[in-house]
Structure 1
Amino acid sequence: MNEFEKNPQSKNNDIIDSGLGFVFSFLFFFLIFGIGVAFNVLGG
């Protein structure tokens, strides 16, 4: 057993962390898309 398995920095569940990362990245790109659509509708 290596030394990192004995003393992990974070004891959180990896599925929760990856799910949050997916949700936040999805929201970020959705926000960018929404801003682009708003500029497109207002501009023309």
Structure 2
Amino acid sequence: MNEFENNPQSKHSNDVVDSIKGFVGSFLFFVLIFAIGVVISVVGG
């Protein structure tokens, strides 16, 4: 038996919730990068 299976760090975490958090975090990051690019484009030209 794997010792990590006996003592997981989070006992009641749902993978779907973690996946949604990761997707939203990545999406917001790319939106931020896009917004910065738009601002630079508008100010520069």
Normalised-by-shorter TM-score class:
0.7 to 0.9
TM-score when normalising by structure 2? 0.80
Percent identity reads: 70
Deviation at 1:9, TM superposition (A): 1.1
How many correspondences in the alignment? Answer: 44
- Cα RMSD for the two superposed structures: 1.1
Where does 1:1-40 land on structure 2 (aligned, <5 Å)?
A: 2-11=2-11, 12-40=13-41
Structure 2: unaligned runs, 5 residues or longer: none
